[in-house]
Amino acid sequence: MAAKYKSPVLGMYVGSTPTIITTDFASTRELLLKPEFQGRPDIFTVRLRSFNELWGVLFTEGPLWAEQRRFSLRHLRDFGFGRRFDKMEAATEEEVRTLLDSIRCPVAAEKGMVRDGEVLLPDLLYPGFINATLQTLTGERVARDRHDKLRGLSRAVRLFQRHLEPSGGAVNITPWARHLLPDTLSATGLERANQGVQDFVDELLEREKLSFDENALRGFVDVFLAEMRKRPDSHFTDKQLAVMLADFLIPSSTAVPITVAMALAYLAQHPDKQDAAHLEIDAVVGRGRLPTLDDRSSLPYTEAILREVLRLDTNTALSVTHKCTQDTFFRGYFVPKGTLLIPNIWAANRDPAVFEKGDEFGPERFLDSRTGTLKKKDPTMAFGLGKRLCPGETFSRQTMFLYLSALLQNYSFAVSADGYLPSEEDMIPGFLVTPKSFWLRVAARP
């Protein structure tokens, strides 16, 4: 449509609501950074996951959002979210070792994901990434023999996201129609999936409350519970904590492990680039220990692979819908308060004006052609920009690096016997664009 109208900025109505979509790098960046465009729409699907109210940090706005975002960022850092933290890194290393063991010697619950020299992705990756987040939230992780619990959470989150549409969808335009056509409008699936996420969070909170000790705070949940006791008449409530936890668990249940899985899929298609990563890791780390975050600056090609997958395979393709909070102008057009704003990050990250051969996999674009070092500037917008920048960006990038570098240190990956790899044509649409599960051949490196 942008090509038809020869404009990177499109205006339309979604139901009766004016809506703007940006489709190139410059306009998308401008939209994400504009102060008047930092609101969130009040819609059915948001209230569905928030007890028919507005809680959490991902889909809220105004004083509640500002207060809770500030509080969560400040205290999550104390437990390794967004900064170097020895305990967190040690816990992540344990999770990485568990994954490597799962490939070498799967337990009964993993045998459906490891077969005859092949692994099922992203499925095998979900528990480790969720556990990394749980470590910051509770100070604890779920044992390997109970990983099915974590896979159940990931399944529920993915189902919820697959029933969502970033632009709102019919269920948000006419929410009353869900009573007439619950299956057609995905309302039944949304409610069932949301209940699965709520059940996991409720069980987690019940366990944390029973063992809470204000003199020994184990993670972010304990800090929030302590604040609830200090400020009983505030936004620090059971509902806010429950929805906020769901917000934090969404990326680790889907987007982050999927990015690592897609990195392996691309490398299976491009063995020369996989060989380059193997050589780099062997030269810097060797085989006697696992890669750590101390190695990150010395592994520019491995880091460039992750940057390229985040650019080429932006799974938050249309981001989270923004809302205009006051009358303003955008690129010469009047934008009334309440307008929905959809930044097409997928298109922006492939804009040929910024990324040469943007539809091709090329990690080298992030390396200095003379020195081979990583370019300081990463223009991609996979995590958003501005005040709505994903607060988990640093944590996610660190965790993805630790997993990908360890997997490439120990294994080689190739296209499976069935020859199937995810493609743009068969991606599953939704709030996140996700691949179908796929197998890769895996071989221990000599």
How do residues 176-188 score in pLDDT, each as one tens digit?
A: 555 555 555 556 7
Tell me how far apart the alpha carbons of residues 1 and 48 are, in angstroms, rounded to a whole number.
32
CA 266, 269, 271, 273 torsion-angle sign:
negative
- Cα 238 to Cα 62, 194, 242, 437: the distances in Å are 20, 17, 6, 35
Q: Give SS3 for 80.
A: coil
CA 19, 23, 27, 28 torsion-angle sign:
positive
List, for the chain, all residue ranges whose pLDDT scores fall below the cut of 70: 1-5, 165-187
- Predicted confidence at residue 15, as pLDDT, reads 84
Name the token pair of 151: 């896979």
Q: Estimate to the nearest angstrom the gap between the alpha carbon of 210 and the chain centroid.
A: 30
Phi and psi torsions of 19, nearest 5°: -140, 140
Q: Which residues are annotated as a binding site?
A: 390
pLDDT in tens, 145-187: 999 999 999 999 999 888 776 555 666 655 655 555 555 555 6
- Predicted confidence at residue 170, as pLDDT, reads 60
Q: Which residues are annotated as a binding site for heme?
A: 390
Tell me how far apart the alpha carbons of residues 16 and 35 are, in angstroms, rounded to a whole number.
24
- Predicted confidence at residue 3, as pLDDT, reads 62
Residues 6+ apart with CB under 8 A from 283: none
CA 124, 125, 126, 131 torsion-angle sign:
positive
Do the beta carbons of residue 257 and residue 251 sit within 8 Å? no
Which residue in 81, 86, 69 sits closest to 138, CA to CA? 81
- Predicted confidence at residue 198, as pLDDT, reads 97
Tell me how far apart the alpha carbons of residues 326 and 430 are, in angstroms, rounded to a whole number.
28
Tell me how far apart the alpha carbons of residues 287 and 39 are, in angstroms, rounded to a whole number.
49
Name the token pair of 42: 């009040």
- Predicted confidence at residue 154, as pLDDT, reads 97
Q: Estimate to the nearest angstrom the gap between the alpha carbon of 229 and the chain centroid.
A: 32
- Predicted confidence at residue 65, as pLDDT, reads 97
Residues 6+ apart with CB under 8 A from 383: 310, 389, 390, 392, 393, 396
Class of domain 2-444: mainly alpha
Q: Is the pTM of this model over 0.85?
A: yes
Q: Render 119-152 in DSSP notation, one character per residue.
A: EEETGGGHHHHHHHHHHHHHS----GGGHHHHHH
Domain boundaries, the chain: 2-444
- Predicted confidence at residue 384, as pLDDT, reads 94
Q: Give SS3 for 294.
A: helix
Which residue in 428, 422, 115, 446 sits closest to 269, CA to CA? 422
Q: Which amino acid would we find at residue 305?
A: I
- Predicted confidence at residue 2, as pLDDT, reads 61
- Predicted confidence at residue 122, as pLDDT, reads 98
- Cis-peptide, bond into residue 122, ω within 30° of zero: yes
> 18 - beta bridge partners?
13
- Cα 184 to Cα 50, 85, 170, 190: the distances in Å are 23, 47, 10, 11
Residue 197 burial (CB count, 10 A): 25
